[in-house]
Structure 1
Amino acid sequence: MATTKAWVLHATEPGSELTRGQLTLEQIPVRRPGEGEVLVEPLVGCWEANMEHAISRHPVDVARQRGDDRIVLGTCGVVRVLAAGPGVRGLREGQQCLWIPFGVIDRNGYAERICAYDAPGSPGLLCGRFVTEARLLVPLPEQSRHPVERWAPFARYFTAWDNWRVARRCWEAQVDDHWDEPPLVLGWGGGVVWAQLELARRDGFRTAMVSGRDSRLAAIAASGATPIDRREFPDLDYDVARASGDPDAMDRHRDSKRRFVERVMEISGGQGVSIFLDNMGGGLHRVTLQSLARESVLATVGWKHGMRLSNLRAVECIGRHIHVHTHAWRFQDCARIRDVQESTGWLPEINEPVASFDAIPQLAEAYSRDAFDSYFPLYEVTPA
């Protein structure tokens, strides 16, 4: 059987401590494509939060959970078709495609398990080639005016499209479409929020985004959104303040929270946030809730730093706050979103170097430290 190079994450032994894992470069077997399958080679991928979750083994060892001795990560990127198995139609050798990493799909087209993460036996992009179901490939437009590097983070944009679609419809369900002034959409998070805010601006909302890094604040301002410097509110995190043991920590927290809400009211005309895109959660959840307008939406599609949330149910009911939780996107929307991206240019600008395949461990380590200015750190597997 043929083999290919791959960065592999091994499972821990049952009962052992869940310490951070290491990627190792190995040769793994590659079989020939069967009925309805295609052999592909990854071109460019985008590093995702789920890859960091898997390597850090937090909150679980994904490889062990899958029942696999080792797994290959990499859920988002562009691949090239090498060979098609029997019964495959509409794909040809050399064609560049988006690989849709949906391992298990429910009856409505939404992902339940993700390839290269929690879908058992599934492949990933951190290898020279792999076999996948042909139906999971969405061809890029012929002679696309956008390079493959801009397409590589497509999953964040597809996810943004889906979450924004649901969040806006929920907001419109209880708010008259006559606006005295543009409602505020505010977000903190990463690449998904960045993509959503562009959709919000196109839909006529005013937008704002929080960051604590000068380069990102400059990019937010250049995009047309209002930048909010996270460093001006150093004690916003309730969980950190509560656990600090410092008797003055909660007073500092309340001061940061008060000043943050005042800033929100300033840029929203005193109304608060109509749609808050919060993919952070955790100790920031309380200030998110207190920043909401009446008849508003709290939308989340991630759980980067806080999986468990709590709220006062009566307050949320009285404020008519709709909480929206989504994951990934609807499979049947893939081609539609791709076509919107191609025609409108709703893709990220890539301004940082693309990491080589040999530098994958360094990329993983840098991501764990949040060392990137870009929301879309890329890596190359095979030259396009």
Structure 2
Amino acid sequence: MIETEAWVLHQGDGSRQPGQLVLEQFSFSEPDDTEVLAEPLYGTWEGNMTHAMTRNPVDVCRLRMERRIVLGNAGVVRVVETGKNVTRCRPGDVCVVIPIGKPDSQGYPIEVYGYDNRGSVGLLAKRTKLREDQLIPLPRETRYSLLQWAGTSVRYATAWDNWRVTWACWRSQWTNGIAPTPHVWGWGGGVALAELLLAKRAGCRVAMIASNSERLRQISALGITPVDRREFLELSFDAARHGADIDYRTAYAAAEVAFLRKVRQLTDGQRVSIFIDNIGTPVLRATLKALARYGVLTTVGWEGGTDMQFRRPTECIGRHIHIFTHGSSYEGGDAAIADAEAAGEILPVGDDVYDWARIPQLAEDFAAGRIRGYFPIYKVNGA
């Protein structure tokens, strides 16, 4: 058995009370011939880690049927030892993690390493083990820091895979070969931001919605039009409140009008061709109203809620395409990392870097919305 220090989440008591990270010893079995023993260097805090701690939508420990788990599925690790059948990496390699827990027949994740994949030991541990198809060695002469790769890794791979499908679907509708220059907008975090960089490179006009000054500054610095969420803060739809609370309904309606006015203003009245919505339920109603004819709604996440309600006739008549993807295959992740290095689209890392001892504070700050940038990084064995 391997013994290591880790920040551990314990199973809840069934009451859905939020959990806490506890620093304690954690053990796991020795790597087999197809696995590697690795030291996490830097990780980036993901929304699914907060979902796990808040036990929303599920208690992941109970889902995995494990009393204790270690979270963390995005970052960079150093390979310590490799099994005799491992060929993709070797001891000493620094690799980004592609969190394919349980893959389907095409190599896409059904379960996510470091989240809902049973038996996986995430990056909130001083040591862990991974399969070789979860690790992509970084270029030895990379131009970028490990902190930058920690922030980019899974986000860029997920964005790259989703954009590949989204762009192909949008372009497939223009059978006469005459397509307008698309307006692409995004709600969400780092994945949406990475996807907008890919859209910008494809010649699209891009905009990103954010609600704090630092994020708006980062967006603008990347050549993406910033849209200030604070101009329509009441744009958060709750069906029950909308039906029962007239004050809420009035405030929501005003916010929706302000949002759609901003959309028309920034798209010259055309509305949004492709909307990357990784928030979900609270903004879906407004997102769909903002879509142009032949518009595409695409998503890889559900930060604010999982459920969808829409009118099928409206979506059919508008010729809207809805796309849902989840993570990347190994091959897609490998291509995405190579593409990021070649194109120079490594995502910017700000000042949100937390030492090992302050990881619970990072969890608290993320849940409370106190993270200023898109890429909160934590150190494990990093310098």
TM-score of the two chains, using structure 1 as the length reference: 0.95
CA distance in 2, matches of 1:61, 1:213: 30
Provide Cα deviations, 1:125-155, integer angstroms capped at 9, x if missing partner.
0111122222322111112111111111311
Q: 1:113 aligns with which of 108, 111, 114?
A: 111
In the alignment, is the contact (CA less than 8 A) between 2:97 and 2:154 conserved in 1? no
Between the aligned residues of both structures, percent identity stands at 44
- Is the counterpart of residue 165 in structure 1 residue 164 in structure 2? yes
Residue 58 (structure 1) aligns with: 56
Residue 200 (structure 2) aligns with: 201
In the alignment, is the contact (CA less than 8 A) between 2:4 and 2:27 conserved in 1? yes
- For residue 55 of structure 2, what is the amino acid of its counterpart? R
Once the two structures are TM-superposed, the CA of residue 335 in structure 1 deviates from its matched residue by: 1.6
Once structures 1 and 2 are overlaid, which stretch shifts more, 219-228 or 113-122? 219-228
CA distance in 2, matches of 1:241, 1:267: 32
TM-score of the two chains, using structure 2 as the length reference: 0.95
- For residue 5 of structure 1, what is the amino acid of its counterpart? E
Provide Cα deviations, 1:279-311, integer angstroms capped at 9, x if missing partner.
112121111111110011011110111100110
In the alignment, is the contact (CA less than 8 A) between 1:272 and 1:291 conserved in 2? yes
In the alignment, is the contact (CA less than 8 A) between 2:98 and 2:328 conserved in 1? no
Residue 189 (structure 2) aligns with: 190
- Is the counterpart of residue 25 in structure 1 residue 17 in structure 2? no
In the alignment, is the contact (CA less than 8 A) between 2:236 and 2:282 conserved in 1? yes
Residue 101 (structure 2) aligns with: 103
- Is the counterpart of residue 137 in structure 1 residue 135 in structure 2? yes
CA distance in 1, matches of 2:88, 2:173: 44
- 1:2–1:171 distance in 2 versus 1, CA, 3 Å: closer
- Is the counterpart of residue 11 in structure 1 residue 11 in structure 2? yes
In the alignment, is the contact (CA less than 8 A) between 1:6 and 1:72 conserved in 2? yes
In the alignment, is the contact (CA less than 8 A) between 1:183 and 1:268 conserved in 2? no
- Counterparts of 1:326-341 in structure 2 under 5 Å? 326-341=325-340
- For residue 292 of structure 1, what is the amino acid of its counterpart? L
- Is the counterpart of residue 255 in structure 1 residue 254 in structure 2? yes
CA distance in 2, matches of 1:263, 1:91: 49
Once the two structures are TM-superposed, the CA of residue 37 in structure 1 deviates from its matched residue by: 1.6
CA distance in 1, matches of 2:367, 2:222: 26
- Counterparts of 1:1-384 in structure 2 under 5 Å? 1-13=1-13, 16-153=14-151, 154-175=153-174, 176-180=176-180, 182-239=181-238, 242=241, 246-383=245-382
CA distance in 2, matches of 1:56, 1:177: 48
Unaligned 5+ segments in structure 1 are none
Other structure's SS at 1:33 match: coil
In the alignment, is the contact (CA less than 8 A) between 1:240 and 1:283 conserved in 2? no
CA distance in 1, matches of 2:248, 2:32: 61
In the alignment, is the contact (CA less than 8 A) between 1:241 and 1:249 conserved in 2? no
CA distance in 2, matches of 1:48, 1:148: 17
Once the two structures are TM-superposed, the CA of residue 244 in structure 1 deviates from its matched residue by: 8.9
- 1:47–1:244 distance in 2 versus 1, CA, 3 Å: farther
- 1:67–1:178 distance in 2 versus 1, CA, 3 Å: same
Once the two structures are TM-superposed, the CA of residue 29 in structure 1 deviates from its matched residue by: 2.1
Once the two structures are TM-superposed, the CA of residue 241 in structure 1 deviates from its matched residue by: 8.4
Aligned length: 381
CA distance in 2, matches of 1:30, 1:364: 24
CA distance in 2, matches of 1:304, 1:192: 12
Unaligned 5+ segments in structure 2 are none
CA distance in 1, matches of 2:242, 2:345: 41
CA distance in 2, matches of 1:221, 1:91: 38
In the alignment, is the contact (CA less than 8 A) between 2:352 and 2:371 conserved in 1? no
Provide Cα deviations, 1:261-293, integer angstroms capped at 9, x if missing partner.
121111112111000111112121111111110
Once structures 1 and 2 are overlaid, which stretch shifts more, 85-94 or 261-270? 85-94
Once the two structures are TM-superposed, the CA of residue 30 in structure 1 deviates from its matched residue by: 4.5
Other structure's SS at 1:297 match: strand
Provide the aligned C-alpha RMSD in A: 1.7
Other structure's SS at 1:210 match: strand
Once the two structures are TM-superposed, the CA of residue 4 in structure 1 deviates from its matched residue by: 1.1
- 1:82–1:231 distance in 2 versus 1, CA, 3 Å: same
- For residue 383 of structure 1, what is the amino acid of its counterpart? G
Provide Cα deviations, 1:212-231, integer angstroms capped at 9, x if missing partner.
21222222222222221111
